[in-house]
Every structure is written in C-alpha cells, then in structure tokens.
Amino acid sequence: MTTAQKTLASGHDWQVSDVVCTAVAGDKPFEEEHRSFCVAAVTRGTFRYRTRQGTAMLAPGAVLLGNPGACYECGHEHGAGDRCLSFHFTPAYMERVVADVPDAKRLGFADPRLPPLPALTPLLAEAEAARETGDSDAFEELGLRIAGAVTAAAAGSVAATRTPSRRDQKRVAEAVRLIELNAERPLSLNELADSTATSPFHFLRIFRHVAGMTPYQFLLRTRLHRAAVRLRSSDATISTIAFDAGFNDLSAFNRRFRREMGEAPGAYRVRRTRGR
C-alpha cells in the first residue's frame, strides 16, 4: 500500500483526512471508487487523476473533485508522491450546500478538478494550518466553507476543450516540482522552460493549459500560501516569514498578501486566536 490516510476530524455526514501517497514512477495505478463526494486539496507533489469526468494533472493548490460511485485512478509517472487534505461529504450534506449556492443548478461535479483559484486560496491555507497545528475543532466550519466555495467555483467552471497530452503533463509536473523546491529564490521563465526542454512560449502555453495559471502566478501563489500557513502556525515575525518565502520587499509582500487573501498579514494572523 502506497497511501497512508489519517482522519483529522469528522462529524455528521462529513470527514476530513490527511492523505500521503508515496507512489513513484513505475508503480502501477489501481482503480478505486469514491464512496462519497470528495474535495481534495493538493498540498504537495503532482499526480495524474483520471475519472469519468475526464483526466487532469493536479499540482499544489489544485482541488480534486470526485462524485459518489465514480471509479478513478491516480498515477505518478511524472513525479514521486503527493499529499492532500481530503474532505468527504455525503450526498445529503452536499444537497444542503447546493441548495444554498445561488449559481449551483446540479448535484455533482462536471469536471475532475479545479485549478488554483484566488477564492479558494485563503480557505485552503487555513485548512493546511489547522492540519499542521492539530486544530481539529476548526475543520467542522472549514469543511462547510470549502464545500460551499468549491460548489460555487465548480458551477462557474468551464471544462477544458481537450485533455493535455501526457508529454505536456510531464513537462508541467517537472516545472511544478522545480518551483516547489526553489520557491524562495528567483525563477525565470527561461529557466523553467529550459528544465523541460521547451521554448519559453510553448512552455508558457502548456503550463497555463495544464495548471490553470501562468508559471509566475503559480510561483507567487506558492510563496503566499507558505507564508499564510506560517502566519497561522508559527510565531516568527511577518518580515522573517516574508523574506523566507522569497519576497525581498516587505511592502510588496503586504500588498500581494492583501490582494490574494483579502486582508493584511497581521489581521490574518490575529484570526488564529480570535473568533471570525
């Protein structure tokens, strides 16, 4: 077994688990079945997800979507291992959520994933911080907020016109891994393209198609996400966190953090100990 699953919290009609997969390239994927609605936020690594809704390459910040009864496979031919925060909701739970989301007209996900989205970034950072600090009590509310946000985002999503080729998925997965390992230092488009043996123009195009954003947007979001998790889970100064994440200018960090998270770093940190 290459997957270890630890239940972090559960309640009536819902459960959240920390799922760590150690599969490597060459391991044969095996078919599994979603027992309930699944909303899994990828927090580390990359993998290929195939289900009846389609096939997608998932990277940190993306959200896997699964429907009850749907069979699926996860493959790691492009990289070793991954880690996800996996929320599971019963149909009754999701029915109540869908009824309260104005744009949602159906029960069930039409697409296999959501790319990293600004609307989800603060919520996913809070969930990851709760996992790191062991704050299991936070997940009841977080689960409901994430279910609502994902339902709203999925209702407005448009399926890709074609499935990216495996070669393109492999190239993007390699670039994502490079960004993950070096997010704190400058990474140019040329360096990332060179790492995948493609031209910058072709690389930019396939990265946007596969990951749902540009390489720079992914790099910036990776830095901001790591900073958000540290703000919630450590007592390091804001400037230390900003510089460690790869920002050379504190004012630029504050400005970008506010734009991405909807509030200043200090206010975001205060909510660690205060009620919302």
Q: How far apart are CA 23 and CA 157, in angstroms?
A: 30
Contact between 228 and 261 under an 8 Å Cβ cutoff? The reply is yes
User: What per-residue confidence (pLDDT) applies to 161?
Assistant: 43
Question: Which tokens in the block code for residue 250?
Answer: 């504190």
Whole-structure pTM value = 0.70
| DSSP symbols for 11-53 | ETTEEEEEEEE---TTPPP--EE-SSEEEEEEEEE-EEEEETT
Domains of the chain: 3-155 (2.60.120.10), 166-270 (1.10.10.60)
Residue 25 buriedness (CB in 10 A; 0-12 / 13-18 / 19+) = exposed
Q: Is residue 220 classed as helix, strand or coil in its secondary structure?
A: helix
User: What per-residue confidence (pLDDT) applies to 69?
Assistant: 96
Q: What is the pLDDT along the chain (276 residues), one digit of tens a residue?
A: 588 999 999 988 999 999 999 988 778 877 899 999 999 999 999 999 999 999 999 999 999 999 999 999 998 876 778 999 999 999 999 998 998 888 787 889 999 999 988 889 888 998 999 998 888 888 988 998 899 999 999 887 544 445 678 888 889 999 999 999 999 999 988 899 999 998 887 888 889 888 888 898 899 999 999 999 999 999 999 999 999 999 999 998 999 999 888 899 999 998 755 554
Contact between 110 and 154 under an 8 Å Cβ cutoff? The reply is yes
Q: How far apart are CA 106 and CA 103, in angstroms?
A: 9
Q: What is the DSSP letter of 65?
A: E
Count of alpha carbons within 13 angstroms of residue 139, beta-carbon side:
25
Q: What is the largest CA-CA distance in the chain?
A: 51
Strands laid side by side in the 82-89 sheet: 3-11, 14-21, 82-89, 37-45, 63-66, 113-114
Contact between 25 and 96 under an 8 Å Cβ cutoff? The reply is no
How far from 107 is each of 15, 82, 85, 104, CA to CA, in Å?
19, 28, 22, 8
Indicate the pairing of strand 32-33 with strand 37-45.
Answer: unpaired
User: What per-residue confidence (pLDDT) applies to 160?
Assistant: 41
User: What per-residue confidence (pLDDT) applies to 276?
Assistant: 46
